[in-house]
Amino acid sequence: MKLEFYKYQGTGNDFILIDNRDLSFDKNDYNTISKMCHRKFGIGADGLILLEKSDKADFKMRYFNADGKKGSMCGNGGRCIVHFANFLKIIKDSCVFDAPDGLHKAIINGNIISLQMSDVEDVELSNSNIFLNTGSPHHITFTDNVSNLDVYNKGRKIRYGAPYFEEGTNVNFVEQLGENTFKMRTYERGVENETLSCGTGATAVAIAVNKLNKTTDNHINLETLGGNLEVFFNKKDKKYTNVFLKGKVEQVFKGEYLI
């Protein structure tokens, strides 16, 4: 059987996008999903995303990690599926879609997608580390030289270590470059490696640096290996609302996968 797919990337975070409005794709076939995402034996991607119909929004996003397992919210993936829905003429210049962590609003300006993320209130501080959930769990550690860091080994150790263990967490390493500019690298669970960018991670870092008073700005610039992202938000007391993740996405190619 031939399966039509589209390949997308958002600041180097790459995904396989499939129009599954007819529900023909088997969401429980984790082996096929992981093989499709494999960079040697398949298409190659950080994750696979299905676009489906929704009775409470413009469409539904179903996200799977590169290991084939169902994933939590993916910020860059969310931005990519919004562009995909626009390409399919399901939506025009804005939308609301149903994601693993609830409903999300998005605004489209060409290949620049601004995605509203979940509100955040709970931020856990421990020594020089910070933990919060922005649709996906994120551990954040600050460093003076993120470019030379062994992200794979350090990230993997934290991802599986206490207090996260098997359920795990995404791990972000962050260096401050300017008043409201930060460079970050991320080890992603489910991919089990460093990715070129992470949208929920960028969102978590932006909130964390404000929470720790590393900046008083509510518009944060994030430099990732795959490109630049922006996060802006409102803050009232301890709660972060109207949180938006903004950046470029690109439809890279279209193909047919043989199942």
Q: Which residues are catalytic?
A: 74, 198
Q: How distant, in Å, are the alpha carbons of 10, 89, 97, 116, 171 from that of 152?
A: 21, 39, 33, 29, 10
